[in-house]
Structure 1
């Protein structure tokens, strides 16, 4: 028996316990809780890392998308094309500004397909919003070409994509805005909810700055309707510290992914994500999501051996949510998404994994198919 959790939440704190304790005491002793220098310093470090002009810490990734959409005037009567293989928050952010999410299929890399999106464009379409999923970017050349052809904006749900790149350009830096999530299980998580919204547009940056803090401008004057979507300064201080270790985290996740890739490649019942050396893509492997025949039996076998896995989004792409007015039977143009969700499975992928843990996962999977 093994003891390999899907994600090790206590390990987030234990890894840098002394440093986090010192940060907590420093911030709290200064009474620096809301919109203080720690947040400004984190935002500057994040913008530099991503290669963007502006980054704003907000309270979570969902509100980051809502703010970005509202800043660009997306609202009733508008359509935004997304992949159905995404978290419900992507579609919800569009609905909550009064617009309509339209679902595209995924490609062979299980991410937003520009070819599928091209078939969904109407006179109401205003933007393409790929989800930079599992720590991988969509093919942004294809997305960009499609947007240019039809005069559409590009937005990015890059909640899982911090550090991912396509042709050297970071996720979250391609379009009118990009977003991040710092939920604890993200590749760089904080100790609660947190997020960021980024842009290279100065006018949009002013709107985002105002909207996240009750419509107040840089002079503290209320100039528009806004909301309270600020990132807590204490969380920003923790994240500022984590930025200093992030290169190490990206490298380790890529090492784990390579072990999975090398150990499981060539099996006719397992469909792996792309490997770490994949041409124009630089993946940071927020998750290691594969497809497997006999998925449920495999998952039970792993659990019986003490290895925990999960099925992303509780096994439900957005277009399957019947209580939201959708349903699998309503869509016959998302075949890859349907195929994938009948088989998808995420293996453990976190910084507390040892090489021995990864080898145990690989060996147990192979044992299942060989039995």
Structure 2
């Protein structure tokens, strides 16, 4: 194994570079909120919601405190609770499943297709009389097979709730993710393609009754002060975060193009390494590369080697939900979802963000080639 005798530091995500590029705009937006001291439900919240509906293409957007809260409030507004079942992939972050459990419903896990998203060919056999919803996750920035999922969901009259936490601006066919089900949950966690400077999220929908319910539920069951129509939650979007998101939304399409350019360079430089499987590109589905995830042999050794070379990597996700201690009450076992289990030991997330340079990607891919040489 030949050794590269120089070292470049490349983080998995570089939020400092993102801030530096729009610093003046961000600072002005934050100063504007500080000057008005309207930190809860200020005008910036409504302003962002309006801008986000225009961007996504839905009638309604309701800012909430996180992506997890968005899923929770959608499920609650749909009346999902004790005795109900909700189907979702085992290969996702736990926040997709947690709200199902909070409401007393049962998560029913599903295996994935080769593109890492819920496999519609395995969906139908999981549906029972108790099934009320399915949550496809547009993982890593790639839309799930919404045609296949929606056809089955429609046949059985179950709701489709999109988990769009990693797919801001992704497109399925001619429609953006977030417009393909009864509602969608967005996360604006700082590292997302559209990230706040703290926790934040959003529910988008074309359904007026659902939007009205979520709007009340996020703010203690009210739409006016001290008149509470529902028992709700404190899950509002902060005014400061809305101001930050309004600035960053204007740059999202450009940032997504930069991510796709970076991913294309990775593809070209990794395609001839037999030990590496690159992300799938699927016609009719525009990937926005929240993460650039490869499958590799000797994953953990490669990860440690890259760390020694100053390269930050991640694993999204090393333990499937059906094998997590938190969900042992569901009585799944190893072997239940073979494709999910197989890739959990092989996947590796390489650095990707709009500001990543050609030199950095060349260094990363050179180190990968060196490891396998």
Q: Distance in 2 between matches of 1:255 and 1:106?
A: 26
1:1-371 equivalences under 5 Å are 1-217=7-223, 221-275=227-281, 278-313=282-317, 315-325=318-328, 330-370=333-373
Paired with 1:257 and 1:331, the residues of 2 have a C-alpha distance of 33
C-alpha separation in 2, matches of 1:236 and 1:271: 38
Alignment deviations for residues 277-304 of structure 1 (CA, whole Å, 9 cap, x no partner): x311011100011111111111122111
Is the Cα contact below 8 Å between 2:256 and 2:354 reproduced in 1?
no
Contact 1:320–1:328 at 8 Å: present in 2 too? no
8 Å CA contact retained: 2:115, 2:279: yes
SS in 2 for 1:248: helix
Residue 305 of structure 1 deviates from its aligned partner by: 1.2
In structure 1, runs of 5+ residues without a counterpart are none
Go from structure 1 to structure 2 and tell me whether the alpha carbon gap of 1:327 and 1:360 turns closer, same or farther (over 3 Å shift): farther
The answer (yes or no) to whether the contact 1:320–1:326 under 8 Å persists in 2 is: no
Say if 1:329 and 1:82 are closer, same or farther in 2 by CA, change over 3 A.
Answer: closer
Runs of 4 or more, structure 1, over 3 Å off, are 218-221, 326-329
Q: Supply the distance in 2 between the matched residues of 1:344 and 1:158 (Cα, whole angstroms).
A: 21
Q: Name the count of aligned residue pairs.
A: 367
Q: CA deviation at 1:220?
A: 6.9
Query: Could you tell me how far apart the structure 1 residues matched to 2:216 and 2:330 are?
Result: 38
Paired residue for 2:4?
Answer: none
CA distance in 2, matches of 1:327, 1:177: 26
> What is the rounded CA distance, in whole Å, between the counterparts of 1:169 and 1:331 in structure 2?
37
The secondary structure found in structure 1 opposite 2:167 is coil
Structure 2: how far apart are the matches of 1:329 and 1:184?
33
Shift of 1:77: 0.5
Q: Alignment RMSD, CA only?
A: 1.6
**In structure 2, C-alpha distance between the alignment counterparts of 1:176 and 1:218, rounded to whole Å:** 26
Deviations 1:291-343 (A, max 9, x none): 11111111122111111101113x11111113431699714341110110010
Distance 1:221 1:21 in 2: 36
Alignment TM-score, normalising by the size of structure 2 = 0.95
Under a length normalisation based on structure 1, what TM-score does the superposition of the two structures give?
A: 0.95
Q: Does the aligned pair in 2 maintain the 1:319–1:326 contact within 8 Å? A: no
CA distance in 2, matches of 1:346, 1:164: 19
**Contact kept in structure 2, 1:321 and 1:327, CA below 8 Å:** no
**Whole-Å separation in 2 of the counterparts to 1:46 and 1:335:** 38
CA distance in 2, matches of 1:117, 1:105: 9
SS of the residue corresponding to residue 307 of structure 1 reads coil
Q: Structure 1's 238 and 356: CA in aligned 2 closer, same or farther, altered over 3 A? A: same
Change over 3 Å in CA distance of 1:341–1:327 after alignment to 2? farther
Query: Is the 8 Å Cα contact of residues 258 and 355 (structure 2) preserved in structure 1?
Result: no
Alpha-carbon deviations, 1:132-162, whole Å to 9, x = none?
A: 1111110100001110122211011111111
- Distance in 2, matches of 1:348 and 1:362, equals 11
